[in-house]
């Protein structure tokens, strides 16, 4: 039994600067996605940036803003822009706005160009009604704010302390030393994202954001058999790949044939080949949820053509009182794995 970290997608340990602020991770040469593509530093940047975006992983954005240099400023800039674009979009469409929309516009530079803005700001209680009734052509104002934000979108992110000087090198700069930063790298929000997800990104006139300024992906991207816009289905980089998933009914994980890490045999009970099938008879389950012996009746750990091997609760109990496996760990390899006590 150990809680010592082992290598995930990157070599362990990373190089850490003397002041504890700069972490340099080297992605393993054999780290690959389940379609054979190499895992790169850009995949981690894509995943981490997605985790900062308003409307996607907002609840966990603090994992970045509290620790990574420039992340807090970037997230605040994005949130303010989304709020302002949402308000301007409503006004452009002739809809009403509320006090929250007014506050968003007051924080934005475009506020100074709105006729009578000083009087509106002085009367916040009635500003929303007065703003909607102004004789203003909101279309060009909205278009200009949208265009300016798109132009600054990628440039602003360059100030965040995450960079890839080479395809296999990820450099992270913190705001202050963090003793548990490596613990955070094993958290699902910090997992990489394969570039194929961009095929399902919503765009406005070719821009990488929606009319409200949000980064939005088709919510079906997590399905292995979804192929809109040429999407190949969910691509992962752990020891197992999600082969089939029926919401609240059934999930089947099959071995990722491109996975080469030495941890393969430690990921799920049974031999490190074949497949895992979860049959849910007691409640909903989804990849990433911890499977516990009280939740499922059995796990099939062999492929269909092999002799079936069932892991019952009593047999799982021999691997620890909780008798659990962590499915999310098997479907994405993070920068570092953390072993569960068996």
- 157-215: per-residue pLDDT in tens? 999 999 999 999 999 999 999 999 998 998 889 999 999 999 999 999 999 999 999 99
Q: What percent of the chain has pLDDT over 90?
A: 56
**pLDDT of 8:** 83
- Any domain includes 298: yes
Q: Could you say which of 134, 154, 174 is where a domain stops?
A: 154
Tokens of 160: 């965040």
- Confidence grade of residue 240 (pLDDT, cut at 50, 70, 90): confident
Tokens of 72: 């807090």
Nearest to 181 by CA among 2, 24, 315: 24
Q: Give, in order, the Cα–Cα distances in Å from 279 to each of 121, 205, 251.
A: 58, 44, 7
- Any domain includes 40: no
Which stretches does DSSP call E strand in the chain? 5-7, 15-16, 22-26, 162-166, 169-173, 240-246, 250-255, 275-279, 290-291, 299-300, 310-311, 325-326, 336-338
Q: Could you say which of 154, 181, 208 is where a domain stops?
A: 154
Q: Could you say which of 154, 180, 202 is where a domain stops?
A: 154
Same domain, 239 and 144: no
Residues ≥6 apart with Cβ < 8 Å to 76 = none
Residue 242 dihedral angles phi and psi, to the nearest 5°: -80, 110
**pLDDT of 209:** 95
CA gap 232, 266 in Å, rounded: 28
- Any domain includes 121: yes
Global pTM value: 0.78
- Any domain includes 55: no
- Any domain includes 324: yes
- The length of the chain is 342
Count of CA atoms in the C-beta half-sphere (13 A) of 278 = 32
How many CB atoms within 10 Å of residue 297? 14
Domain count, the chain: 2
Residue ranges making up the domain that contains 148: 73-154
């Amino acid at each position: 039994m150990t809680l010592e970290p082992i290598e995930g997608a990157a070599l362990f340990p990373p190089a850490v600067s003397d002041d504890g602020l700069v972490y340099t991770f080297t992605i393993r040469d054999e780290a690959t996605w389940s379609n054979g593509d190499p895992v790169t530093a850009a995949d981690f940047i894509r995943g981490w940036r997605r985790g900062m975006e308003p409307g996607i992983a907002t609840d966990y954005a603090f994992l970045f803003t509290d620790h990574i240099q420039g992340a807090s400023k970037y997230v605040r800039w994005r949130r303010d822009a989304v709020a302002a674009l949402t308000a301007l979009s409503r006004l452009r469409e002739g809809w009403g706005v509320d006090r929250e929309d007014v506050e968003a516009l007051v924080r934005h530079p475009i506020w100074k160009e709105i006729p009578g803005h000083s009087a509106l700001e002085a009367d916040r209680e009635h500003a929303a009604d007065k703003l909607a009734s102004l004789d203003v052509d909101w279309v060009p104002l909205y278009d200009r704010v949208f265009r300016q934000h798109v132009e600054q979108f990628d440039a602003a992110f360059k100030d965040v302390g995450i960079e890839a000087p080479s395809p296999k090198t990820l450099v992270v700069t913190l705001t202050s030393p963090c003793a548990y930063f490596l613990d955070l790298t094993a958290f699902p929000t910090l997992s990489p994202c394969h570039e194929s997800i961009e095929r399902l990104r919503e765009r406005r006139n070719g821009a990488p954001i929606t009319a409200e300024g949000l980064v939005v992906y088709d919510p079906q991207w997590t399905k292995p058999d979804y192929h809109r816009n040429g999407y190949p289905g969910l691509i992962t980089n752990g020891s197992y790949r999600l082969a089939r998933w029926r919401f609240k009914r059934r999930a089947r994980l099959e071995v990722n044939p491109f996975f080469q890490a030495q941890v393969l045999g430690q990921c799920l009970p049974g031999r490190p080949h074949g497949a895992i099938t979860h049959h849910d008879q007691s409640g909903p389950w989804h990849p990433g949820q911890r499977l516990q012996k009280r939740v499922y009746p059995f796990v099939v750990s062999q492929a269909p053509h092999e002799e079936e091997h069932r892991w019952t609760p009593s047999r799982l109990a021999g691997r620890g009182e909780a008798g659990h496996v962590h499915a999310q760990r098997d479907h994405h390899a993070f920068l570092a794995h953390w072993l569960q006590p068996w």
